[in-house]
Amino acid sequence: MASTAQVNSFLSAAAELEPKEFVTSFPSSFGLLGRSIIIDLPCFRHTTYIMLDHVYIRSVAVGVEFPVLETLSLLHCNGNLEALLSCCPRLCTLLLSGILFDTCDLRVNSPSLQELVVNPFSTEHVNIVAPMLKKMEILLTVMLEVNISVLAPIMENVWWYCCYTEESIVFGPWYLELLGLQVADRQGQLPLLHIRASVDSSLFPYEPNFAQEIEKHMVVDFSLLELDLKTDGHVLGALVFYLLQIDQISSSLRKLKIILLRSVVKEECPTDCPCESTNWRSQAISLTALEEVEINGFEGVDHEFDLLKKLLVFAPKLKKIIVRLTQEVSSSNTRRTKIYNVFETYGSAECFVYLSSGLIDDIQNQPST
């Protein structure tokens, strides 16, 4: 097992060689603190790339600097990241994987940073100040809730996902599982806000906190909302309308995609079920920017038709709507005909209905049964 003195002596000798790139990796079994080798980083004055694996960065001495360092990669490391970044005035790329910092917070403050990759990281606080940041890829895991502050005004590429490991962010019986943002500097690809939620009918009726949590993650603008909803036979309209009333969603949403995920065994939804927690059927909503709606897994039950009607009514600029049917509805001419009747009655958008086979429906050319 390597001693602290031996490791730091090795680092000092390496720094004296003034390498352009420096890579060091220690097996986890060598560690003296948990799983990490304890190190005191010396000054690498001419090094542009540093990669450290399984180390604990105990300290960065006063006067130590990495004046030309452009890329820093830390794998399975811990220590004081803020102190280290303050010594890297020209850092462009920061890669963090399997990291555990002293504060268990993700704090990145760098005036020169252009690319940040963090995968994965468990935290309750995110604070990023990087005015030159253009690309950000972050995967977070959160138990209860997370506090987020991001100052990066010129970001062009964003991949941001947060996985919730507890049923702590709720709306009625719904709980938040995953929230993501995807923004790519590519023509034709809409900036995406992705939300995945499931139902647990045994949840105690806590005060709804879905909206407050989602708003924290809106670190960039988006125009496509994708909802992955595992309904288990419950009504989804109240949740969808609750989300669509969030100011930043209702004002900028151009495309709405709803994916209905079905379980093999459906629950019975009682008349007083909290999934009908609001009078959403009588609510008005303004979706002035919405141009396209897609619903996958449409089952043709009454509450799904109610949601479809309201989307058609409250989206005056709606140009296109796509409905993809489950196998059960695909075999029912009556319910398929009802879909077209809703289209004709409530909207003027171009409408497409797809069977479970993937073929486009031609029910309009067939007699109803």
Lookup result for tokens 């964003």: 158
Residues of the domain holding 116: 1-137
**Does the residue 142 lie in any domain?**
no
**Alpha carbon 23 to chain centroid distance?**
32
Half-sphere exposure (Cβ direction) of 348: Cα atoms closer than 13 Å? 2
Same domain as 161, residue 119: no
Q: How many domains does the chain have?
A: 2
DSSP states of 272-327 as a string?
T-GGG-S-GGG-----TT--EEEEEEE---HHHHHHHHHHHHS-TT--EEEEEE-H
* 12, HSE (Cβ side, Cα atoms, 13 Å): 8
Q: Are 189 and 121 in the same domain?
A: no
Q: Are residues 131 and 180 in the same domain?
A: no
d(CA 169, CA 250): 21
Q: Which residue has the tokens 């109240």?
A: 238
150 found inside a domain: no
Domain boundary among 107, 137, 167: 137
Statement to judge: residues 110 and 82 lie in one domain: yes
Per-residue pLDDT in tens (0 to 9) along the chain, 369 residues: 556 787 788 888 988 898 999 998 876 545 444 456 778 888 999 999 999 988 888 777 778 889 999 999 998 888 888 889 999 999 999 999 887 655 578 899 999 999 999 988 888 899 999 999 999 999 999 888 889 999 999 999 999 999 998 888 999 889 999 999 999 877 778 999 999 999 887 777 677 888 999 999 999 999 999 999 998 878 899 999 999 999 989 988 999 999 998 766 666 676 777 787 778 888 888 899 999 999 999 988 888 999 999 999 999 999 999 999 988 887 778 888 888 899 888 878 899 999 888 888 765 544 444
- Residue 201 maps to a domain: yes
Residue 162 sits in the same domain as residue 65: no
Quick one: 17 and 91 in the same domain? yes
Single out the residue in 108, 137, 166 at which a domain terminates. Answer: 137
Query: What is the structure's pLDDT at 56?
Result: 82
User: pTM higher than 0.85 for the full model?
Assistant: yes
Same domain, 118 and 246: no
Residue 312: burial class (beta carbons within 10 Å; 0-12, 13-18, 19+): buried
Residues 251 and 323 in one domain: yes
The alpha carbons of the chain give a radius of gyration, in whole angstroms, of 26
Instruction: Note whether residue 90 is domain-resident.
Output: yes
Q: Within a domain: residue 144? A: no
Do 126 and 171 sit in the same domain of this protein?
Answer: no
Q: What is the pLDDT of residue 33?
A: 45
Closest CA to 306 of 349, 276, 351: 276
146 in a domain, yes or no? Answer: no
Q: Are 288 and 223 in contact (CB under 8 A)?
A: no
Residue 147 lies in a domain: no
Q: Are residues 34 and 121 in the same domain?
A: yes
**Domain contains 148:** no
Same domain, 109 and 39: yes
Which residue do the tokens 């409905």 mark?
323
- Give the domain-ending residue among 81, 105, 137: 137
**Residues 130 and 13 placed together within one structural domain of the fold:** yes
